[in-house]
């Protein structure tokens, strides 16, 4: 610290102390409002907090160096506002905000009502204002402060370089979740990395070739049941379905299906750039979502080797239904490219209020009116149990209610809608029913822990109103051992189409 010697020593020390104090502000937001991102216990917080400090110290130091007087105060006001929004998002969703996903789906997300004033993290706002008051002090001009800024740049570069090498960031973008990027690189760097991957231009057949090579080299474990010959398939992807939710008190209808069908657990394999769209992509294509590009941004090359393609080849129509906008996660263009008749919120009548898209009640009533068609696959993607679990009336919005209670309330609503839907399905002995979760809700696991597998149920609807399990060599199979992948379910459904071909 010899460069601090001389007349400017005290001023430079105060300036560095101020920069450190300002850089600790984002760390406080992480510790108070984003604990699920930091890790399951305080001992794991070191890396994300150090990375967060390094990023913030760089941003603050460069800002102090380049922006003088009121210009820095304006910059700090914007920076503080951003972190207040991060605090709100962390409290409301228990996860870090992901700007790239927001911009991809801006049109649909813009329809969600703005939060009320009571949801604003006022403590964070007041702390940001107080730090802004401290930052009104002018920046000492001289070699010492320039060296301090250069030191902040070097510290951040050193931390990010270590993270890139130690955590193999290129693979992390493809195989991990966004929260892992935030944990290992800090929020600012994670936003940049995620944005670069999300909006990169590479969309050609080379990316699909990598996914197909992975499928060939690492085939999914097949389901140990025999394919069934049917005239109709009804496949329901249930938003945020947890095994712990399948109890008579929370989800009596789904619990009844769970107890009578062939049941097992499936891993969701969400990636950092594809989010929850990873699940239906796997079911439709049989490919794992290991792309560095959002999977529905891949330009499909016309290959018929998909669930809809096989259905068409075997004389089945393929319909998909979702209560959201057709372009959410770019589903609409991709579904059209693989031959899916996609029905979304634009064509589903609204009779119940939802803060986002159509309620599961409206969605499932709409599907029930169309599902009597034979020689067809009906693929339904539900929405009402999407975080923050306050989309529908009832049960929400539920102010001042814990995330877990909101989830359970929304699951009770969705279960009621699903129970009525299953009761409306044709009872002709020729309908295969499949239900599975796209991913867990996150309310039952310790913050920062790995995602557990989600339920999967398969059965045939009989004329007497029961949903019976599938068989293996003529014997009913109630429990599937171990865990499975959605590409394994995809392959089983293709075998059922082959068995049902005329």
pLDDT digits 0-9 by tens, 105-122: 666 556 556 666 777 888
Q: How confident is the model at residue 394 (pLDDT cuts 50, 70, 90)?
A: low
44-80: pLDDT as tens digits? 788 899 999 999 999 999 999 999 888 999 999 999 9
Q: Is the pLDDT of residue 164 over 70?
A: yes
Peptide bond into 394 cis (omega under 30): yes
What confidence tens digit (pLDDT) does each residue in 41-54 have?
Answer: 677 788 899 999 99
Q: Name the H helices within 94-177.
A: 99-104, 106-109, 122-134, 143-167, 169-175
Q: Is 39 left (phi over 0), alpha (psi -120 to 50) or beta?
A: left
CATH superfamily of 229-463+475-500: Alkaline Phosphatase, subunit A (3.40.720.10)
Residues 450-487: tens digit of each pLDDT: 789 999 999 999 888 789 999 999 999 999 999 999 99
Q: What residue ranges do the domains of the chain occupy?
A: 2-198, 229-463+475-500
User: Taking the model in full, what pTM does it have?
Assistant: 0.75
7 pLDDT band (50/70/90 cuts)? very low
Sorting pLDDT into bands at 50, 70 and 90, what band is 195?
Answer: confident
- Nearest Cα to Cα of residue 113 among 408, 390, 359: 390
Quick one: average pLDDT of 15-31?
Answer: 93
Give the Cα separation of 440 and 436 in Å (integer): 11
Mean pLDDT of 348-366: 92
Q: Residues 387-410: what's their mean pLDDT? A: 73
Q: Give percent of the chain above pLDDT 90.
A: 55
For a pLDDT cut of 70, what percent of the chain falls above it?
A: 89
Q: What is the mean predicted confidence (pLDDT) over 380-395?
A: 83
Q: Measured between alpha carbons, how far is 333 from 203 in angstroms, rounded to an integer? A: 14
Q: How confident is the model at residue 90 (pLDDT cuts 50, 70, 90)?
A: confident
User: pLDDT for 307-334, tens place per residue?
Assistant: 999 999 999 999 999 999 888 888 999 9
The predicted pLDDT at position 293 comes to 75
| Structure confidence at residue 4 as a pLDDT band (50, 70, 90) | very low
Q: Which of 3-17, 172-186, 288-302, 353-367 has the highest mean pLDDT?
A: 353-367
At residue 399, the pLDDT reads: 52
Distance CA 385, CA 378 (A): 20
Contacts of 201 (CB under 8 A, 6+ apart): none
Give me the chain's average pLDDT, please: 87
For the stretch 144-162, pLDDT in tens is 888 889 999 999 999 999 8
Q: Look-up: residue for tokens 């706002």?
A: 125
341-343 and 317-322 beta bridge pairing: parallel
Angle at 224 between CA 220 and CA 209, to 5 degrees: 15
- Is 194's pLDDT higher than 60? yes
């Amino acid at each position: 610290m010899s460069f601090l010697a001389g007349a400017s020593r005290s001023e430079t020390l105060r300036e560095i102390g101020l920069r450190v104090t300002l850089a600790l502000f984002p760390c406080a937001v992480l510790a108070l409002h984003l604990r699920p991102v930091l890790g399951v216990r305080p001992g794991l917080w070191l890396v994300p907090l150090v990375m967060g400090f390094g990023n913030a110290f760089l941003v603050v130091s460069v800002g102090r160096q380049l922006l003088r007087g009121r210009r820095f105060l304006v910059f700090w006001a914007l920076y503080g506002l951003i972190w207040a929004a991060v605090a709100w998002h962390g409290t409301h969703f228990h996860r870090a905000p992901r700007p790239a996903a927001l911009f991809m789906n801006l049109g649909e997300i813009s329809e969600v009502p703005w939060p009320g004033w009571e949801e604003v993290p006022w403590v964070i706002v007041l702390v940001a204002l107080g730090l802004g008051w401290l930052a009104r002090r002018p920046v000492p001009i001289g070699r010492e402060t320039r060296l301090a800024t250069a030191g902040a740049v070097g510290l951040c570069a050193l931390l990010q370089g270590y993270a890139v090498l130690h955590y193999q960031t290129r693979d992390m973008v493809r195989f991990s979740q966004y929260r892992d990027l935030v944990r290992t690189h800090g929020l600012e760097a994670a936003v940049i990395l995620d944005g670069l991957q999300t909006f990169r231009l590479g969309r050609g057949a080379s990316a699909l070739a990598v996914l197909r090579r992975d499928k060939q080299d690492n085939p999914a474990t097949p389901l140990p049941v025999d394919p069934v010959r049917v005239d109709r398939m009804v496949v329901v992807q249930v938003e945020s379905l947890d095994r712990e939710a399948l109890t008579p008190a929370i989800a009596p209808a789904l619990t009844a299906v769970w107890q009578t069908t062939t049941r097992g657990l499936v891993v969701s394999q969400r990636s950092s750039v594809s989010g929850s769209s990873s699940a239906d992509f796997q079911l439709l294509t049989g490919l794992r979502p290991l792309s560095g590009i959002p999977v529905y941004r891949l330009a499909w090359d016309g290959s018929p080797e998909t669930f809809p393609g096989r259905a068409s080849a075997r004389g089945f129509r393929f319909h998909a239904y979702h209560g959201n906008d057709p372009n959410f996660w770019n589903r609409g263009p991709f579904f059209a490219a693989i031959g899916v008749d996609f029905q979304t919120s634009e064509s589903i009548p609204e009779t119940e209020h939802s803060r986002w898209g159509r309620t599961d009640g409206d969605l499932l009533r709409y599907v029930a009116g169309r599902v009597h068609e034979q020689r067809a696959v009906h693929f339904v993607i539900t929405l009402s149990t999407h975080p923050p679990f306050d989309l529908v009336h009832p049960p929400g919005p539920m102010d001042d209610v814990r995330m877990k209670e909101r989830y359970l309330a929304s699951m009770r609503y969705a279960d009621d809608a699903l129970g009525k839907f299953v009761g409306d399905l044709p009872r002709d002995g020729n309908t295969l029913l499949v239900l599975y979760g796209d991913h867990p809700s996150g309310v039952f696991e310790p913050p920062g822990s790995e995602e557990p597998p989600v339920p999967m149920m398969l059965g045939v609807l009989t004329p007497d109103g029961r949903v019976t399990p599938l068989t293996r060599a003529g014997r009913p199979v109630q429990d599937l051992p171990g865990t499975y992948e959605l590409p394994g379910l995809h392959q089983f459904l293709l075998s059922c189409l082959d068995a049902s071909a005329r």
